Chains A and B, each alone.
Chain A
Amino acid sequence: MTQVKRLISRNAVPLLFGIVCLLGVYFAKMPGQFLLMEIVKRMARNSFLVLSLIIPVAAGMGLNFGIVLGALAGQIALILSTHWEWSGIGGLVLTALLATPLAVLFGFLAGMLLNKAKGREMITGMVMGFFANGLYQFVFLFLVGTLIPFDNPRLRISTSPGLRNTIDLGRIKGTLDGIWEVRYGFTKFPMVTFLVIAVLALAIWAFFRTKLGQEFRAIGQDRHIAGVAGISVDRNRILAIIISTVLAAWGQLIFLQNIGTLNTYNSHEQVGTFAIAALLIGGATVTKATIGQALMGTFLFHLLFAVSPKAGQTIFGSAQVGEYFRVFVAYGIIAISLALHAWQSRSAAKAKLEEETA
């Protein structure tokens, strides 16, 4: 009995959201086939991005709001690859290779910055994302076509500077998903995309069994003790952010090859928020995140996303209510998790202090 209790209290968040999702599914009254199609599509799109958050959490750096930088690296590579007309799966792989050094550079700079803001990595990462977004817009909305000569009609309208608002990614659309698809009713399962996600999950699992992975864990447990034990904390923290940024760049490519169009100026804006909300709904916390939680969270979060407009329609007579509800859930779950974490670590510190003085 106590075991059941512990199981429930440990998984309270995903259980609660499971119930909310079930209610949503019940009220949305969507055909099962349609629901399956939606959820398969969304899992294929988003799982990789959510998994990219795990390593910095283990290294004690909290939720990496800076994955926006990775997404930007992916998009810059994609803009160039569209310009050079790379196509097919080879083109996608080349784009990923092009995105990698960019993401390494961005991750390195981000890691350096976060080392100057120890203990407030999350807020710094978030503001860093906004800042990088501003620079990205400055480059692609102003410099391109004025200082940077660039006149590809597919990417630019010749009368004004800057790239088009939406860029068609026809040459690489569905190239990863389409390699091998298994049909079930209306639903196409993109087997290779799921395989890539599985390989990443396995790689993260294996990574934590290497020496470097153990060092990350030690830093996550206690930065000062790890430092005393001879682990170079600052270097490893930068490394954790670089890995996360590179994975996010690849994740954004997988996401965009599924969507097929790039919203040049806002495809990346919500990447951090939605991936983090998904991870937290799976039951992860600021200090602990597992692969299972990431995948479970992606499933629940996107199930909620898929059903909430329809559910809003039946319950409140307005699909808009459902749409606002899901955004509210995304922000709300992050607020609650952060608050709970701060609260717990504060009471833990207090208890420790009382123990020492007693």
Chain B
Amino acid sequence: MKERLVAIYHGFGLPRLIIAGFLLLLLIIAAGTELSVPGLLSDALVRIGQNGIYVLAMVPSIQAGVGLNFGLPVGVICGIVGVLVAMEFTLLGFKGFLVAILLAVPLAIGAGYLYSLLINRVAGQEMMVGTYVGFSVVAGMCIFWLMAPFKNPALIWPVGGQGLRVTLTLADTFAGVLNNFLAFEIFGLKVPTGLLLFYGLIAFIVWLFFRTKAGVAMEVVGRNPRFAAASGLSLNKYRTLGIIMSTVLAAIGYTVYAQSFGFVQLYNGPLMTAFPAVAGVLIGGASTREAKVRHAILGVVLFQTLLTVAMPVTNQLIEGNISEIARVVVSNGMILYALTRATGGEQA
């Protein structure tokens, strides 16, 4: 019995125990105030589904040996373009959502391939280069949003007839199509069934991929590049595949995020998207060298629940919105912890 507990403890890891314990404490405090615990958990479920695919996007890049994908905005931008085109033609409901994904995925494959050409040449510095490529793409796209040939008056500034607005609403097109699909309520807990099912489906596909021959080969390339090269596997091929998968997941992740959030935030909106996703997978127990689908799922559940529950509860205790600061401190603290742990090789 005791050995079993120790094994569970080692499998779960100390950081997760601390966060889960803290979460439990917050929920107990919440139950003692007039806050509705089912309401808090409903919000948490939405945010888990909303952010889950971003966190999942870290798995293929880490497994392929590229490390944490700080270049996530590259894929996110493809998702934004897909959503915008669907909005431009006022495609409603599931039609809009599917068209957005169908447009975003090929764009992301192309962008991911180009991104991989760069990343494969800077092996060892992928994270730093990725961060700044992500920032540059977001900044460069700011110019594109200003000059893009969108004509739908719901999207562009009322005066001048050019330039997309900073915040666009999806309320009239396909906000909540997944969230409201088969949604039901039980003991005050609202379950966004469609959103969670879609997230589950994507997670299952990624899990399944790592059980195929290509998936196993990718894992070998990431874990032991020399051995992989000696057994005749092409390093660059699998690294490229990992980056493309990660970018495509980011693009799909954005469409899911947008329909759940209900708004599209352009310009500097997507600048920092990589950081909560990176922190999420690390909180779930991944390292810069190893990440499983279960790390991504556990991580997003713990991290997003923590953020959702922390804000209203601390608001009861002290004034002001602490959620944003908690997000910054916890996510960057977690990334720092992972970066300063000894990982053997020198990888940046």
Q: B128 contacts the other chain (Cβ, under 8 Å)?
A: yes
Residues of B with C-beta under 8 A to A243: none
Residues of A with C-beta under 8 A to B133: 335, 339
A343-B122 in contact (CB<8A)? yes
Residues of B with C-beta under 8 A to A141: 320, 325
Q: Mark A120-137, 1 if CB is under 8 A from B, else 0.
A: 101110111011011101
Q: A101 contacts the other chain (Cβ, under 8 Å)?
A: no
Which of B136, B146, B325 has a CB less than 8 Å from the CB of A335? Answer: B136
How many residues on chain B are close to A (CB under 8 Å)?
Answer: 43
B322-A131 in contact (CB<8A)? no
Residues of A with C-beta under 8 A to B132: 331-332, 334-335, 338
Residues of A with C-beta under 8 A to B70: 123
Residues of A with C-beta under 8 A to B328: 130-131, 133-134, 137
Listed residue (B138, B320, B332, B341) with the most chain A CB atoms within 10 angstroms of its CB: B332
Which of A316, A320, A335, A345 has a CB less than 8 Å from the CB of B129? Answer: A335
Contacts A126-B131, A134-B332, A137-B328 given: A320-B146 contact, CB under 8 Å? Answer: yes
Which of B267, B318, B348 has a CB less than 8 Å from the CB of A123? Answer: B348
B332-A131 in contact (CB<8A)? yes
Which of B123, B143, B333 has a CB less than 8 Å from the CB of A321? Answer: B143
| Minimum CB distance partner of B324 in chain A | A137
| Minimum CB distance partner of B124 in chain A | A342
Distance in angstroms between the alpha carbons of A44 and B149 in the assembled complex: 42
Distance in angstroms between the alpha carbons of A278 and B253 in the assembled complex: 35
- Report whether over half of chain B's contact residues are helix, strand or loop; otherwise say mixed: helix
Contacts A119-B346, A131-B332, A328-B140 given: A321-B340 contact, CB under 8 Å? Answer: no
Residues of B with C-beta under 8 A to A137: 325, 328
Q: B17 contacts the other chain (Cβ, under 8 Å)?
A: no
Which of A131, A161, A335, A341 has a CB less than 8 Å from the CB of B135? Answer: A335
B346-A160 in contact (CB<8A)? no
Q: Write the residues of chain B forming the contact surface with A, with a CB cutoff of 8 angstroms.
A: 70, 118, 121-125, 127-129, 131-133, 135-136, 138-140, 142-143, 146-147, 163, 267, 275, 318-320, 322, 325, 328-329, 332-333, 335-336, 339-342, 346-348
Q: Write the residues of chain A forming the contact surface with B, with a CB cutoff of 8 angstroms.
A: 113, 116-120, 122-124, 126-128, 130-131, 133-135, 137-138, 141-142, 146, 160-162, 316, 318, 320-321, 324-325, 327-328, 330-332, 334-335, 338-339, 341-343, 345-346
